[in-house]
Structure 1
Amino acid sequence: MSNDFYQISILPFAAIIIKICRAYTDSQEDFEDYYQEVCLQIWRSKDNFREQCKWSTWVYRISLNVCLTLLKKKKSNGRTYFTSDVLPDVVLTENKAFADEPLNQLYGAIRRLSEVDRAIILLYLEEKSNLEIAAILNTNANNIGVRVIRIKERLKKMLHGRFN
């Protein structure tokens, strides 16, 4: 992967990639592995992008699919396998989020949600519209609003009293 591709096509979307990877991991090591694998898969699939959606939507979809795939592999055999390819000159900066206890509690609660609900709430927190969320998840936009309300209620119940 060239540094130019990373700078132009991945770095502007790093915040959402980080949030998605953070929601599907519980350690710095796993986070870094997931982040690297997402970046690699974005690079590998760049030629499949047909501009039927925005590039940001493409990045969201790949990020979610990679994280869900890695999570399933980890659950099925207790280990996660990654490609041996290494991203050139890409060094992840230390992620301070793992040191922030309230943020850790929020991500812990988000990780307790179903895989689809995790994706929905992450996109909601990115201020995506219900229509955008539906497009990214390839689902119906009509029920996204209702699901967001229900997810927020579940998260409130899980976190009740922890941030007072």
Structure 2
Amino acid sequence: MNKELEHKFVTELQDNQNIVHKVCTLYTNDRDSHNDLFQEITIQLWKAYPKFRGDAKFSTWMYRVALNTAITLYRKNKRRIDTSDYESIIFKIKADEYDETEELQLKLMYKAVKQLNDVDKALVFLYLEDKNYTEISETLGITEVNARVKMNRIKTKLRTILNP
């Protein structure tokens, strides 16, 4: 890969790395797994970048690669026994913004979302990222109608999980 393409990739990755971190948080339970998944997603993005045509926004393409990588690894690792607990996730919140209730709600939401299947997790993630249904459908490779229907079903399922 030439230096110009490499520079462009690094710049885009730096500008959008929060996307990858959010996906890692959703699909991992500890810092080491988070770092490993971040590295794997970065490698997959790098391998796929020469084929990125720019038909979609870089961030949309990045969501797709990141989620597909996470889902693939999640399915491979699902056979292992996970000894980490959701409470080991550290939320970085500024002291002046600290709200114990909000932190508890975030932990409960993450715990509930982690109970969903991998595609539903990805859909919730994109929804919470304020992506519209067109972007969600493009990223996940499903129809817009299917994305809306699935999201309504997921909302019901999450309500049931959070309010048994």
TM-score range, shorter chain: 0.7 to 0.9
| Counterpart amino acid of residue 156 in structure 1 | R
- After TM superposition, list the pairs within 5 Å mapping 1:1-164 onto structure 2: 4=7, 8-76=11-79, 78=80, 96-97=90-91, 100-160=103-163
The 1:104–1:13 alpha-carbon spacing in structure 2 relative to 1, beyond 3 Å, is same
For residues 102-130 of structure 1, give each alpha carbon's deviation from its aligned partner in whole angstroms, at most 9, with x where no partner exists.
32321121111011111111000011111
Contact 2:137–2:144 (8 Å) recurs in 1: yes
Match of 1:97, SS state, is coil
Is the 2:9–2:49 contact (alpha carbons within 8 Å) kept by the matching residues of 1?
no
Percentage of identical aligned residues: 32
Local SS of the residue matching 2:91: helix
Structure 2 counterpart of 1:66, which letter? T
Deviation of the 1:148 alpha carbon: 1.4
2:100 counterpart residue number = none
**Matches of 1:66 and 1:113 in 2, distance apart?**
17
Deviation at 1:65, TM superposition (A): 1.0
Consecutive aligned runs of 4 or more in structure 1 exceeding 4 Å deviation: 2-7, 98-101
TM-score, structure 2 as length reference: 0.77
Runs of 5+ consecutive residues of structure 1 not aligned to the other structure: 80-94
Q: TM-score, normalised by structure 1?
A: 0.77
Q: Deviation per CA, 1:30-88, whole angstroms, max 9, x where unpaired?
A: 11111111112112211011122221111001101110111122124x39xxxxxxxxx
Aligned residues: 145
Question: Are 1:28 and 1:98, in contact at CA under 8 Å, matched by a contact in 2?
Answer: no
The Cα shift of 1:16 comes to 2.0
List alignment gaps of at least 5 residues for structure 2. 82-88, 94-102
